[in-house]
Amino acid sequence: MGAVLIVDDMEDLRFSLANLVKKEGYSVSTAANAAEALEFACSSIIDLIFLDIGLPDAYGISLIGRLKEITPDTDIVMLTGINDAKTAVDSLRAGAVDYIVKPFDIIEFKSTLHRIMQSRLMGKKALLEAQEIGLDRIIGNCEAMRRVKETILMASEVGSPVLVTGETGTGKELVARAVHDSRNRQSGVFVKVDCGTLSANLIESELFGYDKGAFTDAKGDKKGLVEVANGGTLFLDEIGNLPISLQPKLLRLIEETTIRKVGGIKDIKVHLRIIAATNANIEEEIDRASFREDLFYRLNVIPIILPPLRDRGEDVLLLANYFLHTLKKELKKEISGFTPDACREMLRHDWQGNIRELRNLIEREVIFCRTGWLTLNGLNTPSAPPPPSKNPEIVTLREMERQYIEKILNLTNNNKSKAARLLGISRTTLREKMQSDQILTM
């Protein structure tokens, strides 16, 4: 189905063309002059316009430009008189895709109609296929993940901010990249900022840049990441850790699409898409007044909530097979698959580290596999921390590390980003250490 508009001041012709288009299976509207045509173009989605060149209130060719401004994706075919060969060429130059010389026969009209509508359909299909490339990398078929993919497609068509929420390792970054990649326009660069690992004053100049003289050692101007991402996507990871002092600046960026550098006096206009991700419960942060509610609503225009792996049913097996397939190729190992017990265990396991945990486990198993079948024994017997030493003065290095991590976690109220920063390791490393040392936090 497609929508066609016929613009001609001759009522008979308008009427008979409209009938014909309707019979061919398209929806059709008519306009008797330029004013009506422009009004219609403003208010509806049109695939194709047949436009008479000699309208009473406008010269057809100048109308092409105005219509194209209002609805750039609409195809326009000019209807010209027999003596208008030159105008026909001009109209192509002005943006029409074709012209038909009056008086024309029905067969010619029909074939033009179908040819254009068909090629639009193919174009749309190709576009959809291109958009699905980004989605292909997201494995998952459960209801929740299907909805996630639909939302990604929808989000790729509009520029509004997206907030991706989910436990660690559920694929937030993967989804952010898919939103960026599947934009049908030229999508520009993808710039990632980890709000959890930069200090408040560093993050401000990193994000917004600075002007010469902002600090004593600021020798020249510096472009911030926001400016770098201009025309593309700014991915704000761990947004829950964005220092409260910077939140108004981000709010301003979203609301007014302008930024001001540190020490700067003028506003800079930017155009970018913002995707934020968090594994924290932002609503709790709002209650604790460490996250601004107005900023949350501004970011949460398109929410994408990633379910934990334990709630994705048989997707865990799909993912496991996908990782096995890619890893055995990468590591050049001959492996037939998972034992039935391994599959049962995967469906039962609670996957605290979600997809990342699954991937790491399979990688380990593939490396050490000798039988050609993966048993996933590692799932049942997590490596136990070593027993404490008899002499309380002397502890193993690992025990020492465990105690120190616990201490820092206590100090930071179990804020893992802060703890990781203090310990000088990444969050992922901290998480892995906590897992292998069986450190639990509330």
Ligand X SMILES: Nc1ncnc2c1ncn2[C@@H]1O[C@H](COP(=O)(O)OP(=O)(O)OP(=O)(O)O)[C@@H](O)[C@H]1O
Gap between the Cα atoms of 11 and 278, Å rounded: 60
To the nearest whole angstrom, how small is the minimum distance from the Cβ of residue 417 to ligand X?
A: 10
Residue 293 tokens read as 């509610």
Of the candidate residues 117, 335, 355, 362, the single one contacting ligand X (CB under 6 A): 355
Question: Using CB distances below 5 to 8 A depending on partner kind, what does residue 174 bind out of ligand X, Mg ion, none?
Answer: ligand X
Q: Which is nearer to Mg ion, 402 or 427 (CB)?
A: 427
In the region spanning residues 276 to 295, those forming contacts with ligand X, defined by CB under 6 A, are: 279
Cis preceding-peptide flag for 103 (omega within 30 of 0): yes
**Does 2 help bind ligand X (rule: CB under 6 A)?**
no
Q: Which is nearer to Mg ion, 33 or 197 (CB)?
A: 197
**Does 172 help bind ligand X (rule: CB under 6 A)?**
yes
Residue 237 tokens read as 């990871």
**Does 261 help bind ligand X (rule: CB under 6 A)?**
no
In the bound state, the residue with its beta carbon closest to ligand X is 171
**Does 324 help bind ligand X (rule: CB under 6 A)?**
no
* CA separation, residue 154 to residues 65, 150, 159, 184, 301 (Å): 29, 6, 10, 11, 12
Of the candidate residues 359, 402, 416, 418, the single one contacting ligand X (CB under 6 A): 359
Q: Which is nearer to ligand X, 77 or 155 (CB)?
A: 155
**Does 173 help bind Mg ion (rule: CB under 5 A)?**
yes
Gap between the Cα atoms of 156 and 166, Å rounded: 20
Q: Which is nearer to ligand X, 229 or 355 (CB)?
A: 355
To the nearest whole angstrom, how small is the minimum distance from the Cβ of residue 237 to Mg ion?
A: 5
Of the candidate residues 2, 134, 171, 307, the single one contacting ligand X (CB under 6 A): 171
Block residue for tokens 């995707």: 275
Q: What angle do CA 388, 405, 430 make, to 5 degrees?
A: 115
Task: Report which secondary-structure segment, H or E, holds 150.
Answer: helix 143-157
**Does 192 help bind ligand X (rule: CB under 6 A)?**
no
To the nearest whole angstrom, how small is the minimum distance from the Cβ of residue 71 to ligand X?
A: 37
Q: Which is nearer to ligand X, 71 or 170 (CB)?
A: 170
**Does 169 help bind ligand X (rule: CB under 6 A)?**
yes
Residue 353 one-letter amino acid: G
* CA separation, residue 161 to residues 164, 229, 262 (Å): 10, 14, 24
Size of the site for ligand X (CB under 6 A): 16
Q: Which stretch binds ligand X (CB under 6 A): 47-55, 260-268, 353-361, 392-400?
A: 353-361
Q: Which is nearer to ligand X, 90 or 315 (CB)?
A: 315
Q: State residue 231 phi and psi, 5-degree precision.
A: 85, -5
Residue 389 tokens read as 């030493």
Q: State residue 178 phi and psi, 5-degree precision.
A: -65, -40
Q: Which is nearer to ligand X, 156 or 279 (CB)?
A: 279
In the region spanning residues 126 to 165, those forming contacts with ligand X, defined by CB under 6 A, are: 138-140
User: Which residues on adjacent β-strands are paired with residue 273?
Assistant: 233
**Does 112 help bind ligand X (rule: CB under 6 A)?**
no
Of the candidate residues 192, 222, 349, 356, the single one contacting ligand X (CB under 6 A): 356
408 and 423 in contact (C-beta within 8 Å)?
Answer: yes
To the nearest whole angstrom, how small is the minimum distance from the Cβ of residue 76 to ligand X?
A: 43
Helix, strand, coil content of the chain in percent (nearest 5): 50, 15, 35
In terms of residues, how long is the chain? 442
7 and 37 in contact (C-beta within 8 Å)?
Answer: yes
**Does 406 help bind Mg ion (rule: CB under 5 A)?**
no
To the nearest whole angstrom, how small is the minimum distance from the Cβ of residue 73 to Mg ion?
A: 35
Of the candidate residues 134, 166, 224, 232, the single one contacting ligand X (CB under 6 A): 166
* CA separation, residue 32 to residues 16, 71, 97, 183, 199 (Å): 13, 19, 21, 37, 64
**Does 435 help bind ligand X (rule: CB under 6 A)?**
no
Q: Which of 24, 3, 36, 29 is nearest to 14 (CA)?
A: 29
DSSP readout, 72-84? TT-EEEEEE-TT-
**Does 174 help bind ligand X (rule: CB under 6 A)?**
yes
To the nearest whole angstrom, how small is the minimum distance from the Cβ of residue 415 to ligand X?
A: 14
**Does 168 help bind ligand X (rule: CB under 6 A)?**
yes
Residues that bind ligand X (CB under 6 A): 138-140, 166, 168-174, 279, 319, 355-356, 359
